[in-house]
Amino acid sequence: MLCLAAASLLCVSACLLALPPRTSGLLRVDVDVLVLLPRNNTYIFSASRIAPALEYARRRLSAGPYAGVNFTLRYENSNCGMEALFALVDSARGERPDLVMGPVCEYAAAPVVRVASHWDIPVVSAGALASGFSHKQPEYALLTRIAPSYLKMGETFAAMFRHFGWQDAHLIYHDDKEERNCYFTTEGVHLLLDGDYETTAFALDPKEPLAHLDELFKIMLNHQVVIMCLHADAVREVMLMAHRRGLTNSNRLFFNIELFNSSSYGDGSWRKGEKHDYEAKAAYAFLNTVTLMRSTKPEFEEFSVEMRKSQRKKGVDVCEGCNDVNVFMEGFHDALLLYAIALEEAMKSGYTKKNGTEISHRMWNRTFEGIAGQVSMDANGDRNGDFSVMSMTNHETGTYETVMNYYGTNESIQILPGFNSERFFLRDAPRPSTPEPPKESSGGLGLSAATGIIVGGLLGTALLLAFYFFRKNYRITIERRTRREPCDGKHRQLREDSIRSNFSAA
Ligand SMILES: *[C@@H]1O[C@H](CO)[C@@H](O)[C@H](O)[C@H]1NC(C)=O
Ligand SMILES: *[C@@H]1O[C@H](CO)[C@@H](O)[C@H](O)[C@H]1NC(C)=O
Ligand SMILES: *[C@@H]1O[C@H](CO)[C@@H](O)[C@H](O)[C@H]1NC(C)=O
Ligand SMILES: *[C@@H]1O[C@H](CO)[C@@H](O)[C@H](O)[C@H]1NC(C)=O
Ligand SMILES: *[C@@H]1O[C@H](CO)[C@@H](O)[C@H](O)[C@H]1NC(C)=O
Ligand SMILES: *[C@@H]1O[C@H](CO)[C@@H](O)[C@H](O)[C@H]1NC(C)=O
């Protein structure tokens, strides 16, 4: 024991002696950063929206303890598809970049992360939120996700199901078959609930939002918890129709997921200035919204003001709500900070900036102070997420408030004053059918629609097959799977999806 201690002491002093005296901290290093974001400003993470955040971070870093790190930011248009990969490959004709920021879109990120990981270049993104990216080995080994992924969001639901004792979930989502944000969002929830709870997933075609709604409500009849990822108009429509059919009652809970632009949901979004507003308000009393928890601190105010100013200067369309600081601006700002911390640490330990593996791993499993508050990265390189649940608290005015928070770091739910326990602890609904024979609903559905697919395998595979064989006019129903799929399956899912994307782009 004593011997060991003495030995380690010896080692420590030896190591200290061996290190060159760099304690002044001013490492000098040039870092070439390739930023892959879409130029098109319809994306809330377009280059012109994110660039000011990165510039802000760069300025702050060069004024502080990381003054010796000289970041050069190069912006390339990633669009939302394969252009991202081409930009990376083209940019690496001479010297390869030291760091890649972005892409955000899933199908743009997948090939970029694969190639960058192969080249030992760290990728930090506030996107690439799909569950498939959680399996870092082997293809996404150097991906660090600075915004909470869809799987982390799914934890919020898993925690609520445990806490409130709900039994089943009916997932409804829009699938545009292009960027597929709602598909991937819903996948995160599905992966965490399915296996423990009876879960059905129902895809709506955004081009025909009102098709097959009868089926949708038939399934809803047998479910306690309805979770939607839909455009705001479709949410309103579903809520109105559910209300008219008497499905909004104390035996059922409705959620919609809106992570990035919560201004468009919940609060006030029942109001359209038309004759159904009153009814919609009554229906929305049963709707809860899951969104990212936003925290602020004094420094954040300065950051927000700066962001608004530079966006106005750049002529990014100034519209209510969409010009606010969003999670992508925050994320990419913090990404540069995190990289600087990890780089400095790695270099102090004798590694070079070219050792992407080492630098990536030093970005993981740590907590640091971001622009809006503490950022906690898990040991897998994904950010732990904090989410809020909002509900209508004033039924006269129809206004929403946050009633609950979920903290990913300690996996705990925090109940806030506006919380109404009567609404969340459901009365035990008389179940029309026990979970034992699910045949009744699924069989009838499958027959009547001729397209219902009873899936024993993967959500992704099912959708994939559906795309190939059933074309667009059909709706896809995924019936509950019997058990949680192995990790390998989840991993394959995104890969197959990416392949599909390549084909359709070709
Ligand atoms: C930007 O994206 C939108 C939606 O995808 C599209 O309608 C528009 O044409 C795009 N603009 C440019 C300049 O490519
Ligand atoms: C920062 O890096 C760029 C590109 O490598 C270089 O041109 C510039 O001189 C560097 N600045 C400083 C202060 O070292
Ligand atoms: C956010 O939602 C608001 C309200 O519906 C909408 O006006 C705005 O265009 C949305 N912003 C983005 C970037 O989608
Ligand atoms: C990078 O660092 C790892 C240790 O984390 C080491 O095993 C590896 O050999 C290094 N790679 C290079 C290219 O130096
Ligand atoms: C993460 O960090 C903690 C201490 O900060 C350490 O105990 C733990 O082993 C680390 N986990 C991994 C997987 O590296
Ligand atoms: C979980 O973490 C949050 C924020 O870090 C804290 O406010 C909360 O009290 C913690 N909850 C528990 C049960 O530890």
Compute the distance between CA of residue 83 and CA of residue 63 in angstroms, rounded to an integer: 34
Inform me whether the pLDDT recorded for 430 exceeds 50.
no
3-class secondary structure, 31: strand
What's the confidence (pLDDT) of residue 92? 87
CB 153 within 8 A of CB 385: yes
The share of the chain scoring above pLDDT 90, in percent, equals 61
CA of 363 to the centre of ligand 5 (A): 12
pLDDT, tens only, 121-163:
999 999 999 999 999 998 999 999 999 999 999 999 999 999 9
Compute the distance between CA of residue 490 and CA of residue 127 in angstroms, rounded to an integer: 18
CA of 27 to the centre of ligand 2 (A): 14
Task: Give the residue, 494 or 295, on which the prediction is more confident.
Answer: 295
If you average pLDDT over every residue of the chain, what do you get?
Answer: 81
Lowest mean pLDDT among 212-221, 234-243, 306-315, 370-379: 306-315
Inform me whether the pLDDT recorded for 502 exceeds 80.
no
Inform me whether the pLDDT recorded for 29 exceeds 70.
yes
The tokens describing 408, both together, are: 């990913």
Report the Cα 417 to chain-centroid distance in Å: 27
Q: Spell out the domain ranges in the chain.
A: 27-148+297-377, 151-293+387-484+496-501
Lowest mean pLDDT among 52-61, 252-261, 350-359, 383-392: 252-261
Topology of 27-148+297-377 in CATH? Rossmann fold (3.40.50)
pLDDT, tens only, 252-265:
999 999 988 655 45
Inform me whether the pLDDT recorded for 37 exceeds 80.
yes
Phi/psi of residue 203, nearest 5 degrees: -95, 135
485 Cβ inside 6 Å of ligand 4: no
CA of 407 to the centre of ligand 6 (A): 7
Inform me whether the pLDDT recorded for 450 exceeds 80.
no
- Give the ligand 3 atom nearest the CA of 326: 13
DSSP string, 418-448: T--HHHHS------SS-SS-THHHHHHHHHH
279, 204, 265, 273: which is closest to 233 by C-alpha?
265
**Which ligand is located closest to the Cα atom of residue 318?**
3
Lowest mean pLDDT among 99-113, 253-267, 404-418: 253-267
CA distances from 94 to 32, 35, 91 (A): 12, 17, 7
CB 245 within 8 A of CB 372: no
Residue closest by Cα to atom 12 of ligand 3: 322
Report the Cα 93 to chain-centroid distance in Å: 32
- What confidence category does residue 233 fall into, taking pLDDT thresholds of 50, 70 and 90? confident
To the nearest 10 degrees (0 to 180), the angle between helices 439-449 and 213-220 is 180
- Give the ligand 4 atom nearest the CA of 354: 13
DSSP string, 44-78: TT-HHHHHHHHHHHHHHHHHTTTTTEEEEEEEEE-
Residues with CB under 6 A from ligand 6: 407, 409-410, 412
The neighbour count for residue 115, using CB atoms within 10 Å, is: 17
Inform me whether the pLDDT recorded for 437 exceeds 80.
no
Write a three-state SS string for 365-403: CEEEECCCCEEEECCCCEECCEEEEEEEEECCCCEEEEE
What's the confidence (pLDDT) of residue 268? 59
Inform me whether the pLDDT recorded for 448 exceeds 50.
no
Task: Give the residue, 444 or 382, on which the prediction is more confident.
Answer: 382
Is 76 exposed, middle or buried (CB count within 10 Å of its CB: 0-12, 13-18, 19+)? buried
Q: Which amino acid is at 395?
A: H
Task: Tell whether domain 151-293+387-484+496-501 is in CATH 3.10.129.10.
Answer: no
What's the confidence (pLDDT) of residue 42? 87
357 Cβ inside 6 Å of ligand 4: yes
pTM of the model: 0.83
CA of 376 to the centre of ligand 5 (A): 13
3-class secondary structure, 132: helix
CA of 357 to the centre of ligand 4 (A): 7
- What confidence category does residue 498 fall into, taking pLDDT thresholds of 50, 70 and 90? very low
Lowest mean pLDDT among 2-6, 28-32, 59-63: 2-6
Residue closest by Cα to atom 1 of ligand 5: 365
pLDDT, tens only, 43-54:
989 999 999 999
| Equal fold, 27-148+297-377 vs 151-293+387-484+496-501 | yes
Task: Give the residue, 454 or 333, on which the prediction is more confident.
Answer: 333
- Give the ligand 4 atom nearest the CA of 355: 1
Residues with CB under 6 A from ligand 2: 30, 70, 72
